[in-house]
Structure 1
Amino acid sequence: MLQFAIVPVTPFQQNCTIFWCDQTQKAAIVDPGGDFDKIKAKIDELNVTVEKVLLTHAHIDHAGATKDVAQHYNVEIEGPHKEDTFWIDLIPMQKERFGFSHAEHFEPTRFLDQGDTVTVGNETLEVYFCPGHTPGHVIFFSRDAKLAQVGDVLFRGSIGRTDFPRGDHAQLISSIRENLFPLGDDVRFIPGHGPMSTFGEERRTNPFVGDAAR
């Protein structure tokens, strides 16, 4: 079964997530935004073997330490969607703007799109293309575990910002309603920031995208 641990990183307290397969002890690091020492300490504590980096999108608080992690563990980078090349190319600008001490440009090994899958050990994660917060945002879903990592698409009681370059509010709402909510009310999700929730809870109570907001 897929297991997970959350490591809040950067001044933005971004939920870097470690997924691992409890049969093989192989792991993926999702959205290593920074504080590589904290991420490595958790990997060492879990005693898992990192086999890849997965990215939901390329904002610096999610992707800033990607190159460091990939080089240290000698692993490939999967994600985000190719439309986020725009943000990957802006890593140096983002670094200066948000005061990050270290972040480097990187090249994904594989861009992801709707309908793709990625593996973590013996576990399979489905990929859903969910633009709006950024043009190339994807999310990862384990159907067996009924668990999703949704980056900055959806939060407990809120939704992702769309005031950054190439953000699109209508597109974000569509991504949530057409790609996330149909996965099931009982699906738990890990957001990019803050506490976990379920899609059912957000359908019932989220003032921005819940059923009452239609």
Structure 2
Amino acid sequence: MLKAQIVPVTALAQNCSIVWCDETMEGVLVDPGGDIGLILEKVESLGVKLVKLILTHGHLDHAGGAAELKDKLGLEIWGPHKDDKFWLDQIETSAAQYGVQGARNCTPDKWLDDGDTISFGNVTLETIHCPGHTPGHVVFYEGKMDVAFVGDVIFKGSIGRTDFPKGNMDDLIASITQKLWPLGRKTTFVPGHGPLSTFGQERVSNPFVADQVLAGK
């Protein structure tokens, strides 16, 4: 069975997720953006054996710690989609702009495409390409527990910004309504920032993508 523990990292309070199989204790890190010591301390306390680092997209606060962790632990980096390469290539530039220490550019060992899977222990995550916030953004979905790790595509009461380079609002809305909504109203999602929610709740109350809001456009 899938288990998950959120570890907020960086000054942007990004939700790094430790995700593992409770039968084998093998697990992955979703979006290790920084604060490596804090992440590893939590991993050790949980008794999780990390086997991969996986990224939803290339922004500094989500991917800035991946290269250091790869060096420390000898783990592969999987994701995001190759269209986010330009973001991963400028992590250090972004870090300098925001005054963030220690973040490093990174190159994934495997780019992820729509439909690719990531397995650890008895858990399998499905990759869903969801462009809009960034062109190469992906979401990780686990069907048995009905949970999605959505990065910055959607939040409780909000959606991802599209004013960054290569962001696109039409693509973002399409990703949410055509790729996430079909997963079901009961699906719980872990966003890149802030509290958890469900797709059903957001279809009722989200001021950007609630059904009634989109029907009125």
Q: TM-score scaled to structure 1, two decimals? A: 0.99
Match of 2:15 in 1: 15
* Shift, 1:128, TM fit: 0.3
Amino acid across the alignment from 1:126:
E
Does structure 2 retain, via aligned residues, the 8 Å contact 1:76–1:109? yes
CA separation in 2, counterparts of 1:105 and 1:192? 19
- Cross-structure match for 1:3: 3
Q: What letter matches 1:10 in structure 2?
A: T
Matches within 5 A, 1:24-43: 24-43=24-43
Deviation per residue, 1:165-200 (Å, 9 max, x gap): 110011000000001011000000000000000000
Count of residues in Structure 1 that have an aligned counterpart in Structure 2: 214
Equivalent in the alignment of 1:149: 149
Q: Quick check: 1:129–1:137 contact (8 Å CA) kept in 2? A: yes
Q: Counterpart of 1:172 in 2: which secondary structure?
A: helix
1:88 maps to amino acid: L
Greater mean alpha carbon deviation, residues 98-107 or residues 78-87: 98-107
Amino acid at match of 2:62: H
**Residue 183 (1) aligns with residue 203 (2):** no
Question: Which deviates the most, 185-194 or 101-110?
Answer: 101-110
Separation (CA, whole Å) in 2 of partners of 1:165 and 1:140:
23
Alignment-derived partner of residue 98 in structure 1:
98
Question: What amino acid sits opposite 1:65 in the alignment?
Answer: G
**Structure 1 CA distance for aligned equivalents of residues 96 and 199 of structure 2:** 36
**Equivalence for 2:68:** 68
Do residues 56 (structure 1) and 39 (structure 2) align?
no
Task: Please give the per-residue CA displacement for 1:77-117, whole angstroms capped at 9, x wherever unaligned.
Answer: 11000000010111121111111111111110100011111
**Distance in 2 separating the partners of 1:122 and 1:71:** 26
Q: Is residue 207 of structure 2 the alignment partner of residue 211 of structure 1?
A: no
AA of the residue aligned to 2:181: F
Deviations, residues 16-65 of structure 1 (Å, cap 9, x unaligned): 00100011100100000000011001001101101000000010000000
Provide the rounded CA distance (Å) in 2 between the counterparts of 1:151 and 1:120: 20
Q: Aligned partners of 1:120, 1:136: CA distance in 2, in Å?
A: 23
User: Quick check: 1:24–1:121 contact (8 Å CA) kept in 2?
Assistant: yes
Letter in 2 for 1:81: H
Gapped runs of 5+ residues in structure 2?
A: none
What amino acid sits opposite 1:206 in the alignment? N
> Which residue number in structure 1 is paired with residue 170 of structure 2?
170
For the residue of structure 1 that corresponds to 2:126, the secondary structure is: strand
- The answer as to whether partners of 1:19 and 1:120 remain within 8 angstroms in 2 is no
1:135-171, CA deviations, whole angstroms, 9 ceiling, x for partnerless residues?
A: 1000000001100000000000000000011100110
Counterpart amino acid of residue 58 in structure 1: G
Deviation at 1:120, TM superposition (A): 2.1
- Give the Å deviation of 1:69: 1.2
What SS does structure 2 have at the residue aligned with 1:97?
Answer: helix
1:80 and 1:101 map into 2 onto residues whose CA distance is 23
* Aligned-partner Cα distance in 1 for 2:73–2:46: 15
CA RMSD of aligned residues (A): 0.6
Residue in structure 2 matched with residue 199 of structure 1 by the alignment: 199
Structure 1 stretches of 4+ moved >6 Å: none
SS class of match (1:200): helix
State the alpha-carbon separation in 1 of the partners of residues 119 and 136 from structure 2.
Answer: 20
The separation in 2 between residues aligned to 1:6 and 1:187, in whole angstroms, is 17
